[in-house]
Structure 1
Amino acid sequence: MHWQTLAASLTLTASGADALLRFSCSQLVVERLDPLVNPGMAPSPHLHQIVGGNAFNISMDPKAPPPTVATCTTCTFADDFSNYWTAVLYFKARNGSYHRVSQKPNVGFEQATGGMTIYYTPYIGNTKSTVTAFQPGFRMLIGQQNYRTKAEAQKFRQLTYTCLKDPMTRSGETMDMPTAPCKAGIMANVRFPTCWDGKNLDSPDHMSHVAYPTSGTFESNGPCPTTHPVKIPQLFYEVIWDTTPFNDKALWPADGSQPFVWSQGDQTGYGSHGDYVFGWKDNALQKAMDTNCNINCPQLKTQSIAVGNKCTRQEQVKESIDGWVDSLPGGEMSGMEHA
């Protein structure tokens, strides 16, 4: 299919990867829930956009793995009932009101209501290595919602932005939120650590059980630290925010500063973060990693994007999040999470 060829070309150009899964996950729900950081809290402090299996709920009990609860998934690999989520981007007008920024499909992916592109990469280039797929009950978080300086954000060196000149742009990543209008929107790139301690499926901060390579990056085949010796796939989200309706600089702050704000109240962009709850059925992900699937994976069960678009879940938090609003959903509470 044309979109698969195009997707492969984009991905290989961007990362040099010779083996990876790259697939679409349509929007499941947008609401104030965070079962990883705020389990049992409804509403949670700030708004998230969630894709994946419809088992997503307030608590996500580790004793009830998503594949045993979910009845559908928004992802094109039909055995992936994982949940992937990030904060939501808003535009802040000169009068102080906010408008939610919608998402747009990535190249070659037709999504009904936005979503993400998800990657799982076992190795880069010609240096093949064995990776251990995430295990049932595994979950993790990357980023800190309360960070507001670049010095803080350096800890998460692979949380970046791409100012899209056109839908094909895959260069020019920065840690800073773009400060000029982007012709085709802003892509938020969320790359998770690729080393695991081999013992804990989670940790109190949802990060300590994983780590970045001791030097370099996953892409440069950096070695894992001795404390986290197990190589895991690089999990990577691409989220394209359609900022184009707000590209008129006359709408931007009078001082020319960039007007986009994450839903936790972060206008710096340094509070970008992503959450993950593993939910692949049986050994499907390990099978894909062992066979070095490249975009397509005949070993896995797939479904069309149209079928994925039909997977939905009823909102559990009822509130107005669209149109012009006077404050971010959650108001002052939005800045409390992950503190």
Structure 2
Amino acid sequence: MLALFKASLAAGLLIQSAQAVIRFGCSQLVTERFDPLVTPGQVAPHVHQIIGGNAFNLTMNPSDDYSELATCTTCRFKEDKSNYWTAVLYFKHDNGTYIRVRQKPNHLVGDPEGGFTVYYIAGYPPFQPVTAFPKGFRMITGNPMIRTKSERDLDSVESYAITFRCWDEDQLASPWVGSNQHAPGVGKYDSVGLPDRFCPGGIRSSIFFPSCWDGKNLDVPDHHSHMAWPLGRVDERLGIIFHEGTCPESHPVHVPTILYEIAWDTGFLKDVWPKDGRQPLVMSMGDPTGFGQHGDYVFGWEGDSLQRAMDNCKDAFGAPETCQDVLTVLTDEEMNSCRKATEIDEKVEGEYISALPGCNPIQNGPEPATMVPNCDAVSTTIAKAAPTQIPV
């Protein structure tokens, strides 16, 4: 299995001989309208899918140590109680109802239920040292309100940060054919917005975070200006993983590059996909373009475990098995058994629903999306939390 993993990752991500990387799958913790970074203490405007430690909550105080508060994690390494979350993808039926598009396991990450894949990448040039995030660190990448490609600086590293790849059927079965031989965020295989056609093998969304920290602020009001993208341009043949730049003077501390990969299982929509060519997918914030895709991160690794992993896990392919002398590798069963009950009394997945949860009418742009005033959606939590439902 390890040999197969290495062969596929060498072909699919072009990481061989480039840098140390930790790559691991995480199952779903909970799916609900919580966002403790943007709307702490309040029900969030749109639905997120959350993975990681079960200490995730409506309010997450930066002074708390979530590696100690969490009793389990949905991620592959026991020491990682961090939380990672993104928007949810929905399909709009011709009759006007919506259903959440389920996630499937990414290539060669085991059998997590839902969730997505996380990478910690040391960076380029090969195996350069990086500084692990400190306790209390958090950040956001992307902007849920944008609806047009022109909002991005196409000459910057950031322009490659959030992309989508349409998988054909053969790529569903084989991780080293077709577009999987190319790194994320480059060339003809990736788009900044949602694909404009049916993808029988699924859609992979890649979300990169900036890797240059100011070395001072664990967080800032906008949750991103304490971070910066590396200088220099990206080789469009190789992608953001191989960025040629260094950190700017304003943000001199090189931290690991975090990457999320979400594999959406769109194959089950074949029989209900619109015959007129209309693009029926929409993200949970009412975004049919995909330009507003975003990711949130709250650090929660135990002690110095992340620094030890980045210093010692030198396998360029990121297989968890090669890091088991440094970190504790959990089984699929252990990951999948970690769950957090939802605390909002509303249906968000598992069946067709009449509207996107929250007040999220579809806003096509090109102007930025706006919040709906006087929203009458559920805005309180319930006294008795309900079990999390895995989408069907």
Aligned position for 2:354: 326
Which letter does structure 1 place at the counterpart of 2:248?
P
Aligned position for 1:306: 333
Q: How do 1:204-215 and structure 2 match up within 5 A?
A: 204-215=221-232
Counterparts in 2 of 1:56 and 1:123: CA distance versus 1, 3 Å = same
Contact 2:232 2:246 in 1 (8 A): yes
Which letter does structure 2 place at the counterpart of 1:142?
T
| Alpha-carbon shift at residue 316 of structure 1 (Å) | 1.3
- Larger deviation, residues 73-82 vs 164-173: 164-173
Corresponding residue SS for 1:324: coil
Aligned position for 1:62: 62
Counterparts in 2 of 1:267 and 1:50: CA distance versus 1, 3 Å = same
| Alpha-carbon shift at residue 64 of structure 1 (Å) | 1.2
Aligned position for 1:38: 39
Aligned position for 1:164: 167
Out of 276, 289, 301, the position equivalent to 2:310 is: 289
| Alpha-carbon shift at residue 186 of structure 1 (Å) | 0.3
Q: How do 1:6-45 and structure 2 match up within 5 A?
A: 6-13=4-11, 14-16=13-15, 17-41=18-42, 43-45=43-45
| Alpha-carbon shift at residue 19 of structure 1 (Å) | 1.3
Spell out, residue by residue over 1:5-45, the C-alpha distance to the aligned partner (whole angstroms, 9 max, x if none). Answer: 3333333331424411001111101111000111101x211
- Larger deviation, residues 217-226 vs 204-213: 217-226
Aligned length: 331
Which letter does structure 2 place at the counterpart of 1:238?
E
| Alpha-carbon shift at residue 152 of structure 1 (Å) | 1.3
Aligned position for 2:384: none
Corresponding residue SS for 1:288: helix
User: How large is the Cα RMSD of the aligned pairs?
Assistant: 1.9
Spell out, residue by residue over 1:211-258, the C-alpha distance to the aligned partner (whole angstroms, 9 max, x if none). Answer: 11121245233111111111111100110011111234x63273x231
Q: How do 1:258-277 and structure 2 match up within 5 A?
A: 258-277=279-298
Out of 188, 191, 199, the position equivalent to 2:205 is: 188
Distance 1:282 1:88 in 2: 31
- Larger deviation, residues 328-337 vs 164-173: 328-337
Which letter does structure 1 place at the counterpart of 2:140?
L
Corresponding residue SS for 2:348: coil
The answer to whether structure 1 residue 236 and structure 2 residue 259 are counterparts is: yes
Distance 1:281 1:215 in 2: 34
Contact 1:92 1:259 in 2 (8 A): yes
What are the ranges of 5 or more consecutive residues in structure 2 without an aligned counterpart?
183-188, 234-239, 363-368, 372-392
Corresponding residue SS for 1:117: strand
Contact 1:45 1:333 in 2 (8 A): no
Counterparts in 2 of 1:123 and 1:273: CA distance versus 1, 3 Å = same
Contact 1:122 1:234 in 2 (8 A): yes
Distance 2:34 2:141 in 1: 17
Which letter does structure 1 place at the counterpart of 2:102?
S
Distance 2:126 2:261 in 1: 24
- Larger deviation, residues 81-90 vs 315-324: 315-324
| Alpha-carbon shift at residue 333 of structure 1 (Å) | 8.0
Out of 244, 248, 251, the position equivalent to 2:273 is: 251
